A and B are shown apart, each in its own frame.
Chain A
Amino acid sequence: EAGVTQFPSHSVIEKGQTVTLRCDPISGHDNLYWYRRVMGKEIKFLLHFVKESKQDESGMPNNRFLAERTGGTYSTLKVQPAELEDSGVYFCASSQSSYEQYFGPGTRLTVT
């Protein structure tokens, strides 16, 4: 069974540019989550989808971040415009139940 995949693995962009991260969850998993780890800090929850609906987006830092999950399959997280403090590793996770979440390899975003 394929795991959670994320694309790209690394992205280096300049401040003010736009970046879109993609996550493909494990097939059949209705729950999809985005998390982020900024350098030296803990992994923080961003938002949670159930199928195509946003269940909880309380962790989204501001309106420069937009997450979508059209069709309830893959999800995208767009940062526009990117700021220096957005640098970090963005993890996607998926689950069928709330018990165990399966994490993807992450996208390392560097904003210069």
Chain B
Amino acid sequence: GQQVMQIPQYQHVQEGEDFTTYCNSSTTLSNIQWYKQRPGGHPVFLIQLVKSGEVKKQKRLTFQFGEAKKNSSLHITATQTTDVGTYFCAEIVGNMLTFGGGTRLMVKP
């Protein structure tokens, strides 16, 4: 079945540094969603991208969907300790979410 690969698996950054996580698929994605899970918490929906080349911003977070709709990225500018958590990408087909493995972000104050 469809697999969404996410890299890196872990990332340690110093507070104030930037952070990027990438999702890749061997086949065309119909859409891409991004979720954040705080330590000990549950996935919380951040955004959905649908169009080829789409870019959306939420404050310090920038989400991109590749031109070929086979990859996506989430970039955080000037990380803060509140950004700590695991970021998941996922494709939704029908009502079923297929998640990437997640990138765990750790921020050193």
A and B together in one complex: yes
Contacts of A31 in B (CB 8 A): 95
Contacts of B101 in A (CB 8 A): 41-42
Contacts of B16 in A (CB 8 A): none
Cβ proximity bits A95-112 to B, threshold 8 Å, 1 near / 0 not: 100111111111000000
Q: A48-B95, A98-B94 are in contact. Are A103 and B42 (CB under 8 A)?
A: yes
Check if A91 sits within 8 Å of B42, measured CB to CB: yes
Q: How many residues of B are counted as interface, with CB atoms below 8 angstroms from the partner's CB atoms? A: 18
Task: Give the interface size bracket for A toward B.
Answer: 20 to 34
Interface of A is mostly: strand
Interface of B is mostly: strand
Cα of A33 to Cα of B99 in the assembled complex, Å: 14
Of chain A, the residue at the smallest CB distance from B100 is A42
For the complex, is B92 an interface residue (Cβ under 8 Å from A)? yes
For the complex, is A35 an interface residue (Cβ under 8 Å from B)? yes
- How far, in Å, is B24 (CB) from chain A's closest CB? 14
For the complex, is A27 an interface residue (Cβ under 8 Å from B)? no
Cα of A95 to Cα of B101 in the assembled complex, Å: 23
* Interfacial residues, chain B to chain A (CB-CB below 8 A): 41-45, 48, 88, 90, 92, 94-102
Could you give 19 example pairs across A and B, Cβ below 8 Å? A31-B95, A41-B101, A42-B102, A43-B88, A43-B90, A43-B97, A45-B98, A55-B95, A56-B94, A56-B96, A58-B96, A98-B94, A99-B48, A100-B45, A100-B48, A101-B45, A101-B97, A103-B44, A105-B41
